[in-house]
Amino acid sequence: MNLIIVESPTKAKTITRFLGDNFLVESCQGHIRDLPKGKLGIEVENDFTPQYVIPTKKRKIVNQLKKIAKKADQIYFATDEDREGESIAWHLDYILKAPHSQRIAFHEITSEAIKESLKSPRKINLDLVQAQQTRRILDRLVGYKLSPLLWKKIFKGLSAGRVQSPAVRLIVDREKEINDFKPQEYWSLQAELMAQEKIIWANLIKKNNLRIEKLDLKSKKQIEEIIKDLTKATYVIENIKIKEVQKAPRPPFITSTLQQEANNCLGFSTKQTMMIAQQLYEGVPLGEKTNTGLITYMRTDSLSLSQKFINESATLIKKEFGSDYQQTRHYQSKSKLAQEAHEAIRPVSCQYPPDKIASYLNKNQFKLYDLIWRRALASQMSNEILESMAVDIKAKEYTWRANGLTIKFLGWAKLYPEKQKENLLPLLKNGQVLALKKLHPSQHFTEPPGRYTEASLVKTLEKHGIGRPSTYASIISTIQTRNYINKKGKALFPTKIGILVNDFLTKHFPEIVDYKFTALLEDQLDQIAQNKKEPLKILQEFYQPFIKEVKMKEENIKKTFKDEETDKICPQCGQPLVIKTGRFGKFLACTGFPECRYTKSLSDENGNSVNEKIDIPCPKCGGEIVKKRTKKGKFFFGCSGWPKCDFALWDEPVAEKCPDCDSLMVKKGEKIVCPQKDCPGKKKQKKD
């Protein structure tokens, strides 16, 4: 019997269908060993040796795998082919102590890929394991040495991270730019002209052949003087430039571009995008009990495509659109790390077009798969051909510009359309006089830089070299969970706590939040994976100055926050209450701590009462519904009578009952809906 071990049960289920009865596929459900919780778990004086433990929740899985492994003739570790996957395989090998173990890897879960990987097994790549281990040690050193200092000097519950802190800094710095921004007034002037009874819009671009820059026209007075100069002016076409423009398709998705496009086009968070992509990669049932993998591995920074997919897509494009629309393209990979240079994210096969399998996918799976499908196929299509026309119009000493655009051939845009509209101009010629209908002055003000969205933050993290494809989603998720960042719509805002922690780190530990320093560490991890750097040297170079700085700051920095005295008395023990500041705002706490643990929330991050009343009676007990916050900082709506009454909702309830199941309705964006999954009206509403 041959045993194959993968990370997830879904992946195991999908792979099982491709193998015979002499193969057993089991899941380890992710990492089976990690550094211990509650202590550093690194022997710093012993060359930074990590003290790995098996988490309690993983012991049952490990014991099961040990029993199965004893009976296996051959063991294959088929975890993902990246640092994390290689590390999981290494830990499995250590625990199972299997003499007949080998490593296999594949970038898509198909019969062909699985069987091909079994033909060429390899040893575990220890360089990748070392890179992952070094990253884990660095993150633990920063977190466990710096976070306690934040607790002492600011307040408990705060944390710092090697990668999360620079990400918070980006958002805090952008907020400061916005707050410091002073708008400048400027004006523009458009001419509404007529030719062959068609309107032509032209913008003022020059005076005396000198270009008018954006901020040159600063006042209404300047515009009025120009309009006065143009009284009775004749508008004559001075020059017409026509040129053909060819636009190549964008390359297929890598992790960062998929996260950006899914956020911009579909409104998905980075975490949501990766979760859905994982489902599509591991496999979904297509009208049968067994699963089918639909996309290649979703954590990649490679732009390459297999020749098999290029050939398949060429055949499909010619069949669906015609040979004029097909053009084979090979993209240059941007990956710095050869071992992690998988393919780009693409469909595993052209035999699964989105429309054909739509009924087997949920709404979000379909949206993401459709996006990946169209982007990958469009990358193998012909250029879009445009004809642009620039018409310069002279009126006295002023020059105006009218622009036209005609789409001559859609090419790839037929499959992956972008927001681009034609602007057809009438037939024009040099020396032609145009009739002025009206001049349109417009007042403008310069605008501050936009706040980061998850899409633009990923783009900036990638630009600065902070993190890697597999970490962007977790970085953004972590800084929101820790209440350093809030999300309103798509925009990311720093919280007061986020600004406070960032200012502290920027002032006292500038290297930790320095973009170049963080990127340098990432590059060094890449070099470990390529066997070009020694892990111990990198750890020593980082840790010695870092811990020296921590100890010095611990002695010299004064505590930022002190408890505020109140005249209130603890209702549980009768001792005085004080106001403390925590991750989620201010709260009352008993001075008798730790013997008395009484606390009461005062306000949330924005100064609002956390347990504010909703003025809707609890449908279970008739008590009050209040807005509360979980330990992780997420808001929900529950009964004030908890724990006697366990009524709770994630969405804000309204004073309206569902006509189909009599439950309280809730707000979902601009809609009022029933929150019950098994409500009989749900199917009817969906059908309508």
DSSP structure class, residue 626: E
Give the Cα separation of 94 and 468 in Å (integer).
27
Locus of tokens 């998988």: 342
- Supply 443's token pair: 């007042």
Beta carbons of 11 and 27 less than 8 angstroms apart: yes
**3-state secondary structure at position 113:** helix
Q: In this model, does residue 447 exceed pLDDT 80?
A: yes
Tell me what pLDDT residue 99 has. 82
For residue 190, what are the β-bridge partners? Answer: 203, 440
Give the Cα separation of 142 and 251 in Å (integer).
37
SS3 content of the chain, % helix, strand, coil (to 5): 35, 25, 40
Question: Which of these ranges, 25-34, 607-616, 679-688, has the smallest mean pLDDT?
Answer: 679-688
Give the Cα separation of 560 and 513 in Å (integer).
20
- Give the confidence band of 337 by pLDDT, cuts at 50, 70, 90: very low
What is the torsional sign of CA 540, 545, 548, 554?
negative
Specify the CATH number of the domain 134-180+450-556.
1.10.460.10
For 455, counting Cβ atoms within 10 Å of its Cβ (0-12 exposed, 13-18 middle, 19+ buried), the class is buried
Tell me what pLDDT residue 651 has. 84
Q: Span 635-646, mean pLDDT?
A: 80
- Give the confidence band of 102 by pLDDT, cuts at 50, 70, 90: very high
Domains of the chain: which residue ranges?
Answer: 2-124, 134-180+450-556, 185-248+383-445, 255-378, 564-610
pLDDT, tens digit, 9 for 90 and up, residues 200-213: 999 999 999 999 99
The reply to whether 297 belongs to the active site is: yes
Give the Cα separation of 63 and 66 in Å (integer).
5
- Supply 575's token pair: 């001792």
- Supply 441's token pair: 């002055």
Show the CA angle centred on residue 562, arms to residues 557 and 568, nearest 5°: 170
Tell me what pLDDT residue 339 has. 39
255-378 belongs to which homologous superfamily?
Topoisomerase I, domain 4 (1.10.290.10)
**Of 74, 77, 398, nearest in space to 231 by CA:** 398
Q: In this model, does residue 341 exceed pLDDT 60?
A: no
Tell me what pLDDT residue 513 has. 92
pLDDT, tens digit, 9 for 90 and up, residues 595-640: 898 888 775 444 445 556 667 888 888 788 887 777 666 778 888 7
Q: In this model, does residue 661 exceed pLDDT 80?
A: no
Catalytic member of 235, 281, 297, 325: 297
Question: Which of these ranges, 32-36, 116-120, 155-159, 162-166, has the smallest mean pLDDT?
Answer: 155-159
- Give the confidence band of 398 by pLDDT, cuts at 50, 70, 90: very high
- Supply 603's token pair: 């306000």
Give the Cα separation of 488 and 436 in Å (integer).
46
Locus of tokens 């949206």: 367
Tell me what pLDDT residue 633 has. 61
Maximum average pLDDT range among 144-158, 182-196, 418-432, 615-629: 182-196
- pLDDT above 70 coverage of the chain, percent: 94
186, HSE (Cβ side, Cα atoms, 13 Å): 13
Give the Cα separation of 405 and 428 in Å (integer).
14
DSSP structure class, residue 419: S
Tell me what pLDDT residue 674 has. 85
Beta carbons of 412 and 374 less than 8 angstroms apart: no
Question: Which of these ranges, 93-102, 470-479, 564-573, 631-640, has the smallest mean pLDDT?
Answer: 631-640
Tell me what pLDDT residue 611 has. 56
- pLDDT above 90 coverage of the chain, percent: 68
Q: In this model, does residue 688 exceed pLDDT 50?
A: no
Question: Which of these ranges, 214-223, 570-579, 666-675, has the smallest mean pLDDT?
Answer: 666-675
**Of 208, 160, 134, nearest in space to 510 by CA:** 160
Beta carbons of 50 and 41 less than 8 angstroms apart: yes
Q: Span 359-372, mean pLDDT?
A: 95
**3-state secondary structure at position 617:** strand
Q: What's the topology of domain 185-248+383-445?
A: Topoisomerase I; domain 3 (2.70.20)
pLDDT, tens digit, 9 for 90 and up, residues 499-530: 999 999 999 999 999 999 999 999 999 999 99
Q: Do domains 134-180+450-556 and 185-248+383-445 have the same CATH topology?
A: no
Which helix (H) or strand (E) is 458 found in, with range? helix 454-464
Q: Measured in whole angstroms, how far is the alpha carbon of residue 195 from the centre of its chain?
A: 49
The answer as to CATH 3.40.50.12780 being correct for domain 2-124 is no
Tell me what pLDDT residue 245 has. 94
For the chain, first and last CA: distance in Å? 53
Tell me what pLDDT residue 173 has. 96
- Supply 418's token pair: 């972008």
Tell me what pLDDT residue 632 has. 61
Tell me what pLDDT residue 38 has. 86
Tell me what pLDDT residue 338 has. 38
43, HSE (Cβ side, Cα atoms, 13 Å): 6
**Of 305, 295, 297, nearest in space to 255 by CA:** 297
Question: Which of these ranges, 263-277, 302-316, 464-478, 556-570, has the smallest mean pLDDT?
Answer: 556-570
Q: Span 523-538, mean pLDDT?
A: 93
- Give the confidence band of 542 by pLDDT, cuts at 50, 70, 90: very high
